[in-house]
Chain A
Amino acid sequence: MSTTFTLINVSLLAILTATAVTITRLRALYEATMLAALFSLVTACLFVLLDAVDVAFTEAAVGVGISTVLLLGVLALTRSWESVTPRRRRLPGAIAVLLVGGTLGYASLDLPEFGSADSPVQRHPVTEVYLHQSQEDIGIPNTVTSVLASYRGLDTLGELVVVFTAGLAVLSLLGPLARPEQTRPTADFHLADYRVIRVVSGALMPFILLFALYVLFHGDYGPGGGFQAGVIFASGFVLYGLVFGLDRAQRVVPRAALWFLVSLGLVLYVGLGITTMLLGGSFLDYDVLARHPETGQHLGIQVVETAIGITVASVMTTIFFGFAGRGVVSR
């Protein structure tokens, strides 16, 4: 390992650990939430250092953006102060930590050296397939995208179903989304009353959506793809909802449209799989989509990424509307 790497690595790890310890000690949950956002941001930096640029992108968008907004929204609905943890609760936690920590520490002695070139991960035959053969099979430079959308496309379909199911679970817990006429203005003032916030967020909106599209369609060549694009799309709508109020955001993205979009992504994904089967290939085998297998792969990956983007964006927006609507529905 080069000295620069070690230096950056050690400082990031130190910040991360210090933040985690502070989070556990804080009883003010607003502060803990903001520190959790910082934690995610530092994690994203660490992912970049570990060469996982796509993951860093996702962590930055999800950890700092969406989950912070959700946590803050829930704190506004419930209570933002944690009561003191009684002494008797500490023992079971400490015992579990000692047991798990001891086991992990013992097992770590068998782990290969960090960054070693002949670890089982690097020596596995699949490494060669993903890093070199993929250039002939699929022909796109970002191997993360080709593994995600082509080699392990069925896996990704499963993950998308989990996201979809989680969206349904949130809706069934919080009740259906409120209709615009059921919601009343949250308070006497809106964030939109501040001219700076109103103008800046209005001006930012088109760029956020444009950036999401760029991330979606550029995922073949650089970091990006459907998951990241979906989260960025959703964060655009979340920003709009936060600044201009839920009622106006719901007029921009009506409930019916969200319902349609949530399922559209999955239908598109499964439909593509069935199409490839009808064309004589196996499920999600894109080679048969076009005369030239490589063109077929490109087409298939693009459709899959779009499907992922649509479902992730609409599920995240639905979840946000669900939580935000809980606070403002007049009952």
Chain B
Amino acid sequence: MIASHYVYWTFFALMLIGLYVVISHGNLLKKLIGLSLFQVGVFLFYIGLGKRDGGSAPIISDDVETYSHPLPQVLILTAIVVGVATLAVGLALAVRIFEAYGTVEEDEVLERDSADRVAEHDRERAAEHDGGGT
């Protein structure tokens, strides 16, 4: 079992490390790095399923008999480029958040949001009070 499945288990471990970073860490950039780790774990798992014992790259030639499967490779090849494009979108969001809040820490962003909400609430209360007074 270990001899035949250790590769899958390591790929799962990589995914889980990425997942942990995405959920636990508050820094948005660290989250994005974690997302990439998770992504790579999935890529490797996919490619691993297409691997064949003693096979070679699926480029047909006369002196090769066994090939690994090309389909997972095609899917992952495009997924990698799409992955960097979506990473760029995430980074752009992080830059905008930094410009608006002065931080990329999730906790500090949420704190400022709730502080803003309390301030707004107080202002509304005060306005109501004034309105009732006159």
Binding site for B on A (CB under 8 A): 1-2, 9-10, 13, 16-17, 20-21, 23-24, 29, 32-33, 36, 39-40, 43, 46-47, 50-55, 58-59, 62-63, 66-67, 70-71, 74-75, 77-79, 82-83, 85-86, 89-90, 92-94, 96-97, 100-101, 104-105, 108, 111, 113-117, 119, 121-122, 126-127, 130-131, 134-135, 141-144, 147-148, 152, 155-156, 159, 162-163, 166-167, 169-170, 173-174, 221-223, 225, 227, 230-231, 312, 315-316, 319, 322-323, 326
Closest chain A residue, CB of each to CB of B68:
A51
Chain A residues, Cβ within 8 Å of B52? 51, 115-117, 122
Contacts of B58 in A (CB 8 A): 51, 130-131, 142-144
Residues of B within 8 A of A89 (CB): 24-26
Least CB distance from A72 to B in Å reads 11
Most buried by A among B24, B88, B95, B104: B88
Q: From B17, which residue of chain A is reached at the shortest CB distance?
A: A20
Nearest residue (CB) in B for A13 is B10
- B contacts with A, residue count (CB < 8 A): 82
- A-B CB contacts (within 8 Å), total count: 286
Among candidates B23, B53, B78, residue contacting A117 with C-beta atoms closer than 8 Å: B53
Docked pose: A159 CA to B79 CA in angstroms: 8
- Inter-subunit contact B93/A173 (CB<8 Å): yes
The DSSP consensus for interface residues of chain A is: helix
B interface with A by C-beta (< 8 Å)? 4-10, 12-21, 23-27, 29-30, 32-34, 36-37, 40, 43-44, 47-61, 66-89, 91-96, 98, 103-105, 107
Are the CB atoms of B16 and A101 closer together than 8 Å?
Answer: yes
A-B contacts besides A108-B9, A227-B81, 20 pairs, CB < 8 Å: A20-B18, A29-B33, A51-B52, A52-B73, A54-B73, A71-B29, A92-B23, A93-B24, A111-B8, A114-B51, A117-B52, A144-B77, A148-B77, A152-B74, A163-B81, A166-B86, A170-B88, A174-B96, A227-B78, A322-B92
